[in-house]
Structure 1
């Protein structure tokens, strides 16, 4: 039979059907890590260039500030990566402790444990010296998102918004009363308002409030300008507003730093004098390695260098926005949103002060200005953002 003579063909394996459920891909935001390291390395370079002359005069070592900041930055980057391996949900167990600790530590600044630096008593010495107001920033970034998640749909009510405003406002008030740090208080309150704005579905109320606050600020500035005599005024905050309006009238006094910073930016031109060739850093700009470092960047690297720094920060904020948008839950999204608001406010305030768009606030430039406390808590926030990014799951196509 023909059928019997035919060779038995081997059975062919049926092709496997593609699973209708796509596999999930783990995610880690290496782009955020890269821009943080890039900003830190750039900051160390500019810190050495800015502070070498002053460090050599004061300490006999031109690398004094650089070495301290480099060691702290390296340790903090490692700590950031370790924090990123933790589950950010663990923090929800300690929100009450974190909030209370932030308030208590700020209160301790008013005790003999408080340390005065450059005429301001804002530091606390408990083995190491740090600013407890920086802990208050992290407290508001962690505690308010937790409260918003717990409230759920009740966030729509006025009572819920008032509760959140009181919680964040209390930390801001503590920063102002206990540490006499108005700029940090404004940032903490700004984070509070920003988080409530993001969580609340109705925008129109916030627009009305923003318009009212802007009108009030303008009215206060005009009133002070008309009624306050610069010669007899003794309040340094009112003095800063008057200096901001007409810095040239105070060029030999309170407006000296602002005028010198503007000179530095103007003399840098488009391409700058070249790295290390700043003239204003040779004593003309006081504490140039701190909140006025952006003026030296513009003097040495020009407007191009200043724009590059702004673009780096813009990319950093974009990565934070990406993580917040794709976070696996509302808690993670709001925490990263709080970090986004904090970084953006601090960058805007610092650069606006340097170019005299707002009165002097003493806010540092994140990752670039000198300061161990600042870099420590900034890296902690970045570690928290990376922890949220690790929980993101994308569908593999």
Structure 2
């Protein structure tokens, strides 16, 4: 209140930082470590004579990821505009390299052997495509209403999608989903996306039918009990069904004892359902919903279009991956081999996910709230 009785309109700028997002991410990491140990202890003891084998490796990846998140969150996100082309070319080169010298597992080449550890370039490609597209779109915002601009951007992304799809179709779908989501948010016209979506579905169907094992996945999805490879899906469904409302208790799962193959990876959500029940499953989903909500708050208050697009890309990445993972575990869609963010076992995945969170937090640091 001023001396003359009028309200003082002078305002103070307060720098913002999304501690809610940070807290939820840390909680998910801790929860993921607990569930990982519960899920993998039997398998680790059986294969490596160490029940904490998978836990130790994930702890190392989490530590590196948290360090990366802390560093990236302190760097002005606009700096990455200078590395947009390097990010794309580097990720594309690594994804191409893995096709020639990558380690093969279950019939697919997805990892580069670095000697002391393995590295999955397709995870780096997700982050690279976010930085790459955020830079391009932010330079031509007025042209995003044109259908030709949509076609050009999708055409630029397609080489990355194609080279990743050769060995990892699920990740290629996520990359394409990230691209379409970012263009959708930046475009004032929505009708053109129905055409683009139809085209993507058509080419996706053709791409699936080009390889026998991809077409076989569709048949297994429709009738898992008729195929030997449907065993994992059926055991996962048994785990979900046996959990009931509150589950068998942490560590009480029977399906993880060799019935659900590699339960600590893509199928970990089924063990969550078995041990923590419907209540635990819904709680996990709600945590991801809160993360997406915080992303939306940060994106809508970002200082510029570039920052908003970075957050949108990260939002699309996590949302698509969570939806696809749960859909696969519940046999809503064919098995695609997609991990559950922050919870499934996978060092490269959690490292780049946390780096993405660092980028989002960096954007949140640029928000200035006005307080009277």
Report the TM-score, using the length of structure 1 for normalisation.
0.88
Is 1:388 the counterpart of 2:357? The answer is: no
Counterpart of 1:71 in structure 2 is 60
RMSD of Structure 2 on Structure 1 (CA)? 2.3
Deviation at 1:217, TM superposition (A): 9.2
Is 1:372 the counterpart of 2:347? The answer is: yes
Contact 1:271/1:303, CA 8 A, preserved across alignment: yes
Secondary structure (helix, strand or coil) at the match of 2:229 reads: coil
Counterpart of 1:312 in structure 2 is 287
Counterpart of 2:109 in structure 1 is 121
Is 1:242 the counterpart of 2:183? The answer is: no
**20, 29, 34: which is aligned to 1:31?**
20
Counterpart of 2:99 in structure 1 is 110
Secondary structure (helix, strand or coil) at the match of 1:395 reads: strand
Larger Cα-atom Rg: 1
Deviation at 1:212, TM superposition (A): 6.8
- Give distance in 1, aligned partners of 2:64 and 2:20: 20
Show structure 1 runs of 5+ residues with no match: 1-12, 225-232
Contact 1:327/1:388, CA 8 A, preserved across alignment: yes
Show CA shifts across 1:108-162 (max 9, x none).
11233x2123332111124542111111111110111111111131222233212
**26, 29, 34: which is aligned to 1:40?**
29
Is 1:351 the counterpart of 2:338? The answer is: no
- Give distance in 2, aligned partners of 1:391 and 1:272: 43
Counterpart of 1:155 in structure 2 is 144
- Give distance in 1, aligned partners of 2:299 and 2:316: 12
Show structure 2 runs of 5+ residues with no match: none
Question: Which structure exhibits the higher relative contact order, with contacts defined as CA atoms closer than 8 Å and separated by 6 or more residues?
Answer: 2
- Give distance in 2, aligned partners of 1:67 and 1:139: 28
Q: 1:377 to 1:219 in 2, by over 3 A?
A: closer
- Give distance in 1, aligned partners of 2:334 and 2:285: 20
Secondary structure (helix, strand or coil) at the match of 2:100 reads: coil
Show CA shifts across 1:283-340 (max 9, x none).
0000000000000000001111111110011111111111111111000001100000
Q: 1:38 to 1:111 in 2, by over 3 A?
A: same
- Give distance in 1, aligned partners of 2:205 and 2:171: 23
- Give distance in 2, aligned partners of 1:365 and 1:277: 21
Contact 1:134/1:374, CA 8 A, preserved across alignment: yes
Contact 2:15/2:368, CA 8 A, preserved across alignment: yes
Contact 2:141/2:186, CA 8 A, preserved across alignment: no
Secondary structure (helix, strand or coil) at the match of 2:144 reads: helix
- Give distance in 2, aligned partners of 1:78 and 1:102: 21
Report the TM-score, using the length of structure 2 for normalisation.
0.94
Counterpart of 2:135 in structure 1 is 146
